[in-house]
Amino acid sequence: NAGVTQTPKFQVLKTGQSMTLQCAQDMNHNSMYWYRQDPGMGLRLIYYSASEGTTDKGEVPNGYNVSRLNKREFSLRLESAAPSQTSVYFCASKVAEPEYNEQFFGPGTRLTVL
C-alpha cells in the first residue's frame, strides 16, 4: 500500500497562474482532507470531503476549489495563485466512522507563489 500520495512535491508559480494539486489514497477511506501548513500556525483545514460526491469548506477555503473525482482521488485547485498561498499543502484521509479514527497524511506539496 502506498497510503496517501501527493503530486507534485514542489511547485513554483507566478502570481495569477493556476494549478491543481493531486491527492490519491489506496486505503479505501471515505473521508479526505486538504490542509495548509504555515509557520507558527499549525495545519489549517481548507476543504474536506466526508464521502465520495460531497465536499465542504473548512477554515480557510478562499482562493481554492476542490474536486472529489472518485473515492480514491481528491484534488485541490488554485485558480489564480497569490503570494499568500505560498505554503505546504497536505492531503489526508480516514475511515469516516468513528470520528476518533486517525487521519493518514501524505508527504506534502511545497508551493511557492512569486
Partner 1 sequence: AQSVTQPDIHITVSEGASLELRCNYSYGATPYLFWYVQSPGQGLQLLLKYFSGDTLVQGIKGFEAEFKRSQSSFNLRKPSVHWSDAAEYFCAVAKRGGKLIFGQGTELSVKP
Q: Does position 112 bind partner 1 by CB under 8 A?
A: no
Report the C-alpha gap between 60 and 70 in whole angstroms: 23
Q: Which stretch binds partner 1 (CB under 8 A): 20-28, 60-68, 74-82, 96-104?
A: 96-104
Q: Are 85 and 63 within 8 A, CB to CB?
A: yes
How many residues belong to the site for partner 1 (CB under 8 A)? 26
The rounded Cα 55 to chain-centroid distance in angstroms is 12
- 10 Å CB burial of residue 61 (0-12, 13-18, 19+) is middle
Considering only residues 28 to 87 of the shown chain, the ones binding partner 1 according to CB under 8 A are 31, 33, 40-45, 48, 50, 58
Cis peptide before 83 (omega within 30 of 0): no
- Of 68 and 94, which has the nearer Cβ to partner 1? 94
Do the Cβ atoms of 60 and 37 come closer than 8 Å? no
Residue 100 C-beta: closest distance to partner 1, Å: 4
103 binds partner 1 (CB under 8 A): yes
Which positions touch partner 1 (CB under 8 A)?
Answer: 4, 31, 33, 40-45, 48, 50, 58, 90, 92, 94, 96, 98-103, 105-108
